[in-house]
Amino acid sequence: MRFLFIFLDGVGLGEADARANPFFKAKMPHLRDLLDGHMLVEGVAPLETARATLLALDANLGVPGLPQSATGQATLLTGKNTPQLVGEHYGPKPHQPVRELIAQGSVFSVMASHGKRAALLNAYPDGYFEHINSGLRMYSAIPLAVTQAGIQLKTAQDLHAGDAISADFTGKGWREHFKDNGAVIYNPHAAGVHLARLAFQYDFAFFEYWLSDFAGHKQDMPNAVEQLATFDGVLGGLLENWEDEQGLILVTSDHGNMENLDTRRHTDNPVPGLVIGAPDLRHTFCRDLHDLAGVAPAILRLFDLPEKA
Ligand SMILES: [Zn+2]
């Protein structure tokens, strides 16, 4: 079994409104093909197509206030309703109560303790590790869960060797921000091919994309549309090279944001649960999946692993 988790921060299912919602504005031919001509907007889910199932997942989890990253991501990773357990939506970085829940176990630690090969595919620059080690920077929920599981984060060296992915998929941002000419630049399609190739080296591969939440907070429509066009190109390369019978791809999020650029805050919209792969695998995965807390148990069920960490 292969599982590729593509986490897009701050992506909800919003109104079909080209003025506020970049998902309605951006050209996304591969996504539209996958969804039988539909766009990734509210009212489309639940949808079943030849290669994909689209669900609308609740990110509010019965807790008042707008969903936040630390509690949302911790819920996706642990299967525990984290905002309910800590009494609030909290973020962006985890505070002590969220850190403790992650330390009790996550999908990464269950995979690792059962001998599954699990990885976070993102590359982190040298400066990131320096800031973590000196206490200047705290882990966000995803790298925290990975390191707690005893899995190494990928480095610049991994990126240079073609064993990791830059946060923007293509490596362009890595070169621009870190002035690192060792980073290979991929066009979006090639980045998707690369992503498929890397994911097949693991049982469970995770990729975290956070620029979407950033564009939402900045209310930056041109940037949001450009990001989605890039993502669509990545999806094209990925889908051409993904073996549906061998595993699933999940594209999901922690909370809404980018789908409504009328506000710079998060939204209470449901998030997409876009599941790609063979129908029988999708049906197993999507059973009882309604909200963020259902994701980790669904992944573990697919691998016949205990659903509790
Ligand atoms: Zn945010």
The closest of 286, 246, 234, 283 to 8, measured between CA atoms, is: 234
77 lies in some domain: yes
Please report, rounded to a whole number, the percentage of residues in the chain having pLDDT higher than 70.
99
139, two tokens: 């882990």
State the burial class of residue 138 (Cβ atoms within 10 Å of its Cβ: 0-12, 13-18, 19+): middle
User: Cα(65) to centroid of ligand 1, in Å?
Assistant: 14
Q: Is the pLDDT of residue 205 over 90?
A: yes
Q: How distant is the alpha carbon of residue 134 from its chain centre?
A: 28
Residue with tokens 């069920």: 301
User: Cα(268) to centroid of ligand 1, in Å?
Assistant: 12
Q: Is the pLDDT of residue 127 over 60?
A: yes
The closest of 172, 169, 149 to 251, measured between CA atoms, is: 169
User: Cα(70) to centroid of ligand 1, in Å?
Assistant: 10
Residue ranges with CB less than 5 Å from ion ligand 1:
213
Helix (H, G, I), strand (E, B) or coil at 274: strand
219 lies in some domain: yes
* CB 261, CB 221: distance < 8 Å: yes
User: Cα(290) to centroid of ligand 1, in Å?
Assistant: 22
User: Cα(143) to centroid of ligand 1, in Å?
Assistant: 17
127, two tokens: 């400066």
Q: What is the CA radius of gyration of the chain?
A: 18
Residue with tokens 């073609």: 162
Compute the half-sphere exposure of residue 126: CA atoms within 13 Å on the CB side of its CA.
5
User: Cα(1) to centroid of ligand 1, in Å?
Assistant: 32
Please report, rounded to a whole number, the percentage of residues in the chain having pLDDT higher than 90.
96
pLDDT at site 189: 98
pLDDT at site 93: 97
User: Cα(131) to centroid of ligand 1, in Å?
Assistant: 21
pTM exceeding 0.85? yes
User: Cα(10) to centroid of ligand 1, in Å?
Assistant: 6
309 lies in some domain: no
pLDDT at site 309: 54
156 lies in some domain: yes
User: Cα(210) to centroid of ligand 1, in Å?
Assistant: 9
User: Cα(67) to centroid of ligand 1, in Å?
Assistant: 9
307 lies in some domain: no
* CB 297, CB 304: distance < 8 Å: no
User: Cα(68) to centroid of ligand 1, in Å?
Assistant: 7
Q: Give the span between the Cα atoms of 171 and 261, in whole angstroms.
A: 26
User: Cα(214) to centroid of ligand 1, in Å?
Assistant: 7
User: Cα(11) to centroid of ligand 1, in Å?
Assistant: 10
Q: Is the pLDDT of residue 308 over 80?
A: no
List the single range of 179-193, 231-245, 259-273 with lowest mean pLDDT: 179-193
Q: Is the pLDDT of residue 108 over 80?
A: yes
pLDDT at site 306: 87
130 lies in some domain: yes
Q: Is the pLDDT of residue 307 over 90?
A: no
User: Cα(258) to centroid of ligand 1, in Å?
Assistant: 9
pLDDT at site 236: 98
Query: For the chain, what's the residue count?
Result: 309
Q: Is the pLDDT of residue 135 over 80?
A: yes
112 lies in some domain: yes
182 lies in some domain: yes
CATH of the domain at 122: 3.40.720.10
pLDDT at site 182: 86
**Residue 144 CB: number of other CB atoms within 10 A?**
23
pLDDT at site 181: 87
180, two tokens: 């690192």
User: Cα(92) to centroid of ligand 1, in Å?
Assistant: 6
Pick left, alpha or beta for residue 115 (phi over 0 → left; psi -120 to 50 → alpha; otherwise beta).
left
Question: Could you tell me the residue range of the domain that residue 251 belongs to?
Answer: 2-302
User: Cα(69) to centroid of ligand 1, in Å?
Assistant: 6
Pick left, alpha or beta for residue 288 (phi over 0 → left; psi -120 to 50 → alpha; otherwise beta).
left
User: Cα(43) to centroid of ligand 1, in Å?
Assistant: 24
List the single range of 64-73, 254-263, 298-307 with lowest mean pLDDT: 298-307
Q: Give the span between the Cα atoms of 188 and 190, in whole angstroms.
A: 5
Helix (H, G, I), strand (E, B) or coil at 235: helix
* Total number of domains in the chain: 1
- Mean model confidence pLDDT for the chain: 97
